[in-house]
A and B are shown apart, each in its own frame.
Chain A
Amino acid sequence: MQVSTKQVLLSVENLKKYFPLKIPWTQALLKRERPTVKAIDDISFNIKKGETLGLVGESGSGKTTTGRVIIRLIEPTSGRILFDKKDISKLSKENLRRARKDFQMIFQDPMASLNPYMRIGKTVSHPLEIHKIGTPAERKEKVLSLFEKVNLIPAKEFFNRFPRQLSGGQRQRVVIARAVVTNPKFIVADEATAMLDVSVRSQILKLMIDIKEDLGLTYLFITHDLASAKYICDRIAVMYLGKIVEIAKTSDLFKEPLHPYTRILMGAVPIPDPKLKRSKIIPKGEIPSPINVPSGCRFHTRCPYATKICSEEEPELVEHQGRLVACHLFDKK
């Protein structure tokens, strides 16, 4: 990846996360090798300052784990995470907590990510208290102005409400306000719009775009909805079974998806036009188990173009027409 390192905000190098499985103690005594779930298997990518990188893939492809490992909600097995040229994968707990001021997360489920017993004003000012920013009056001032920014108006009234008094869309606005209250540089948005209705989904996407421009944020936008990704992302990385199979500019990716998996994902998105009858490739079966990853290319079990080499050799992520793709179809070695 040849990007001038000057503008790179986050760079992930050879990141791996294996979850060990529980095995019966009889086998543990025999010192058998523990089977692992390879949630992330050696991925590398960069995010530039002010950019939005989309991370798309099916459920079980490792998108969420990636998002969480990057901000170290989960410890990586190996690899480096460079945030602003500092390796945060080695930070101590205390230093990590301080550093978290700069990278925050927006969670998927607005019903579950707010404390039901905490008034939302308190919820949003909590990060400020933790990082000891400002006096109580200043904090309240900050939260109120933020509420106005995320369109929770009248802000004073919302300040004292409980999450149960809000609709799904309003809750997601609160979650966004909480994520940006410490003036972070980087935000991981994990399926931020998946649980919302169509019309509300567009409202929240618009809000995220506006806030990003306002505050100069950088996003990692995790989603399985390619249509939403199209509107907000500058570049998109497609993940399959713990590997990145393609990274490209959004416009390039939508114009011509290269990897067969990307094509399938693209074809599966329902298009709101009844006249359009597309020829579709529907993949057989479901995503294989990440415990026994298929040999060679991970996708060959479901790929319509699979040849002999696919089951034997794992394709590398190589450059093809200025984009990166991991598929033997494009590997001109």
Chain B
Amino acid sequence: MMALLEIKNLSIDYLTRNGTVKAVDDISFSVEARDSIGLVGESGCGKSTTGTAILGLLPPNARVSGSILFKGRDLLKISNEELRKVRGKDISMIFQDPMTSLDPIMRIRDHFFELLRAHYPKMDENEMKKISSEALKSVGIEPSRLNNYPFEFSGGMRQRTMIALAIALQPSMLIADEPTTSLDVVIQEQILEVLRDLKKTKNMSMVLITHDLGVVAELVNKVVVMYAGHLAESGDVYSIYEKPLHPYTKALLESIPNVKLEDRELRYIPGSLPDLKNPPKGCRYWPRCPYVKDICKRETPPTVEVDGRKVKCWLYGGEINAGIDKTSSAVS
């Protein structure tokens, strides 16, 4: 079966006055129909850049290479006009900050109408009202609130409205960029419930961009871990959480405060993300990696397959197979 979305060798550079920022460097992954994948990593590792690149919403100073195939069509090659038809109807996106992503001087209704008119210029008002009411209902907001302004909504309701807007045209894929980051736990749980429900009832594929591995565990079935623009590891959620292969994944998982675990020892990743204007040579994680070897500092590790997962680390494969048993047991 052909994948719904296939990203191949995607690289994105930002040209800035002080040099080129290599935000995303040669990443590949695919999303099948009804899949939901989580794109995780620290701030600045290129997750949002990847997400926005899918919809062609990058700022003008971005240079993109590689390909993004959606249902076999390369989204990087089609015209703006065609891309506009894809947005909202085939792929939609929810942004991080619900406070600023709605227009404060437009009624909620008009947000929906604008979207619907862009795709179906001849649709009549009753039809549009019907669709918007349905969408609002599916995220748990009374359709009577269509006449309200965004300021009359709380943060959680605004984020629901954003989701309703994103799913109004029944897209086959939803990209959610940190949908719950600015909300508190209870509201976050409500939003996750809405997303979970949508996944079940509307058969939507989802790309969830987040740094919260707890949220990822609740919602997705595949995880792509990114570090400083590189794809560190990808695979299904159970095996990654059970036995992380890449040292970064392991460190990231250990650094989350967990309410369920008994032990109260706090672990964290020492150091911080490298400067992407001149990233470290070789593997980008080596300055923070406890298993660093000489080769890590010289050459970029290849992406190898281990137990059906992809991992980009010298500990697995490459010419130094000799040490693999010893080191992999040290990792696990």
Given contacts A199-B255, A231-B264, contact A58 B217 (CB under 8 A): no
By a CB distance below 8 angstroms, the chain B residues around A224 are 184-185
Q: Is the CB of A169 within 8 A of B259?
A: no
- In the complex, which residue of chain A has the Cβ closest to the Cβ of B193? A282
Do most interface residues of chain A lie in helix, strand or loop, or is the interface mixed? helix
Q: Is the CB of B267 within 8 A of A202?
A: yes
In Å, the complex CA distance between A99 and B317 comes to 62
Separation in Å of the B159 CB from the closest CB of chain A? 12
In Å, the complex CA distance between A202 and B266 comes to 7
Q: Is the CB of A264 within 8 A of B186?
A: yes
Chain-A contact segment, one of B8-16, B115-123, B207-215: B207-215
In Å, the complex CA distance between A270 and B264 comes to 17
Task: Assess whether B21 is interfacial by the CB under 8 Å rule.
Answer: no
Task: List A200-251 residues whose CB lies under 8 Å from chain B.
Answer: 200-203, 205-206, 209, 224-228, 230-231
Q: Is the CB of A200 within 8 A of B266?
A: no
Task: Assess whether B42 is interfacial by the CB under 8 Å rule.
Answer: yes
Q: Which of B217, B238, B251, B268 is within 8 Å of A271, CB to CB?
A: B217
Task: Assess whether B102 is interfacial by the CB under 8 Å rule.
Answer: no
In Å, the complex CA distance between A168 and B43 comes to 10
- In the complex, which residue of chain A has the Cβ closest to the Cβ of B213? A272
Separation in Å of the B238 CB from the closest CB of chain A? 6
Task: Assess whether A21 is interfacial by the CB under 8 Å rule.
Answer: no
Separation in Å of the B3 CB from the closest CB of chain A? 22
Separation in Å of the A54 CB from the closest CB of chain B? 12
Given contacts A169-B272, A197-B42, contact A205 B257 (CB under 8 A): yes
Q: Is the CB of B42 within 8 A of A231?
A: no
By a CB distance below 8 angstroms, the chain B residues around A272 are 213-214, 216-217, 241, 253, 256, 258
By a CB distance below 8 angstroms, the chain A residues around B147 are none
By a CB distance below 8 angstroms, the chain A residues around B212 are 198, 270
Separation in Å of the A248 CB from the closest CB of chain B? 15
Q: Looking at A169, A230, A267, which has the most chain B CB atoms within 10 Å of its CB?
A: A230
Separation in Å of the B276 CB from the closest CB of chain A? 13
In Å, the complex CA distance between A224 and B155 comes to 15
Q: Looking at A199, A201, A280, which has the most chain B CB atoms within 10 Å of its CB?
A: A199
Do most interface residues of chain B lie in helix, strand or loop, or is the interface mixed? helix
- In the complex, which residue of chain B has the Cβ closest to the Cβ of A302? B186
- In the complex, which residue of chain B has the Cβ closest to the Cβ of A254? B259
Task: Assess whether A286 is interfacial by the CB under 8 Å rule.
Answer: yes
Task: Assess whether A265 is interfacial by the CB under 8 Å rule.
Answer: yes
- In the complex, which residue of chain A has the Cβ closest to the Cβ of B214? A270
Task: List B210-269 residues whose CB lies under 8 Å from chain A.
Answer: 211-218, 237-238, 241, 251-253, 255-260, 264, 266-269
Q: Is the CB of B253 within 8 A of A230?
A: no
Q: Looking at B154, B213, B251, B260, which has the most chain A CB atoms within 10 Å of its CB?
A: B260
In Å, the complex CA distance between A199 and B157 comes to 29
Task: Assess whether A94 is interfacial by the CB under 8 Å rule.
Answer: no
Q: Which of B43, B216, B264 is within 8 Å of A197, CB to CB?
A: B43
Q: Is the CB of A227 within 8 A of B259?
A: yes
Given contacts A58-B184, A269-B214, A274-B241, contact A167 B259 (CB under 8 A): no
Given contacts A59-B184, A268-B186, contact A274 B217 (CB under 8 A): yes
Q: Is the CB of A226 within 8 A of B259?
A: yes
Q: Is the CB of B217 within 8 A of A270?
A: yes
Q: What are 7 A-B contacts with C-beta separation under 8 Å?
A: A201-B255, A203-B269, A265-B186, A270-B192, A271-B258, A280-B189, A282-B193
If A270-B189, A274-B217, A274-B237 are given as contacts, then 9 extra A-B residue pairs at C-beta distance below 8 Å, sorted by A number, are: A198-B256, A202-B268, A203-B268, A205-B266, A226-B185, A227-B256, A266-B259, A268-B188, A286-B154
